[in-house]
Structure 1
Amino acid sequence: MNDAGLGEVFSAMQKAWAQADADRFARAFAPDADFTSVRGDRLAGRAAIAAAHDRLFATVYIGTRLVMTVRRVRHCAPRLAVSQVDSTLLTLDGSPALGLGGNPGNTMHAQAVLEHGRAGWLIVSFMNMVPLPRIEDH
């Protein structure tokens, strides 16, 4: 397995986000995927992931785009990989979007477990978090 297909998963997510297409965004996930949002929401399944993002794209994240950078990929088995991904939420003009608690750089960190099958790489488990300020920053 190569990492190129993994990158395509995250690229497709970015494109779907920029078009506020929740169904297309959710296609990066397996039908029975688990998703934990930055707010701690736990979603079970592609349909729930699509529905939650549809609400977000129509409200708090309207007019935003997501920039994702794969930081690390670890292949745990021939068809299983864990990926660490940094994301930045921006407005369409490139300025930081509101809604992430004002964290520096408007960044999130995620860990995604991906499985390779007939449909290619799909995310089976995704956990997203917003970093807190470092203690020495206070």
Structure 2
Amino acid sequence: MMTDVTDAIHALLEAQEKAWQAGNAEAFSRTAAPDIVFTNVVGLFSVGRDPFEAQHRHIFATFYRGSSMRQTVERITCVRPDVVIVNTRTQVTGFGALPPAIVAHGDTLVTRLEQVLVQRDDGWRVGAFHNVVVHPDAAAATPPPVEGRLS
């Protein structure tokens, strides 16, 4: 069963990456639970799939237009059989002028994304999405990520 869960989690992350590459906020938000709790990289907070999708529609139309995002799993923590915490390191490239609060590593924006995934009748969905920018100075003191496995 754990392999099935890990495969489902990786499929959800791949769906997010594919939607991001396409700049498709609707597809990106399909991974979200209807009552998703969302904190973005500058600390904006919302509850619900509609504001989650609206924020992604905005960023895909502005500074992230045409960008690519890749997630590397650092850790998967099983809280219960139907709840997991997924920590990823994201790398965004091909972005435009970023807001002042977001500091990139040259041409790559690095963040740490924590998603709480909940298994529902329609599959695994993101119940909470919390993203923070990794400041370049802090990154210099951080070891490279090692993919965590569900155990």
Instruction: Please give the range of the TM-score, normalised by the shorter of the 2 chains.
Output: 0.7 to 0.9
Runs of 4+ in 1 over 4 A off after TM superposition: none
Which residue does the alignment assign to 2:60?
57
1:72-122 Cα distance to aligned partner (Å, 9 max, x none)? 11111110001101100012xxxx765241236521001111101111111
Which residue does the alignment assign to 1:80?
83
- State how far apart, in whole Å, the 2-side matches of 1:15 and 1:124 are: 20
* CA spacing shift, 1:78–1:65, aligned 2, 3 Å: same
The unaligned stretches of length 5 or more in structure 2 are 142-151
- State how far apart, in whole Å, the 1-side matches of 2:125 and 2:54 are: 18
* Conservation of the 8 A alpha-carbon contact between 2:39 and 2:130: yes
* CA spacing shift, 1:102–1:122, aligned 2, 3 Å: same
* CA spacing shift, 1:87–1:97, aligned 2, 3 Å: farther
Deviation, structure 1 residue 11 = 0.5
**Residue identity matched to 2:133:** V
**Residue identity matched to 1:134:** A
Quote the RMSD (CA, aligned, Å).
Answer: 2.0
* Conservation of the 8 A alpha-carbon contact between 1:90 and 1:97: no
**Residue identity matched to 1:52:** Q
Residues 1:21 and 2:24 aligned together: yes
Deviation, structure 1 residue 43 = 1.8
Residues 1:39 and 2:39 aligned together: no
**Residue identity matched to 1:45:** G
Which residue does the alignment assign to 1:134?
138
The unaligned stretches of length 5 or more in structure 1 are none
* Conservation of the 8 A alpha-carbon contact between 2:59 and 2:65: yes
Secondary structure of 2:42's aligned partner: coil
Using the size of structure 2 for normalisation, the TM-score is 0.81
Aligned length: 133
Which residue does the alignment assign to 1:108?
111
- State how far apart, in whole Å, the 2-side matches of 1:63 and 1:127 are: 23
* CA spacing shift, 1:98–1:71, aligned 2, 3 Å: farther
Using the size of structure 1 for normalisation, the TM-score is 0.88
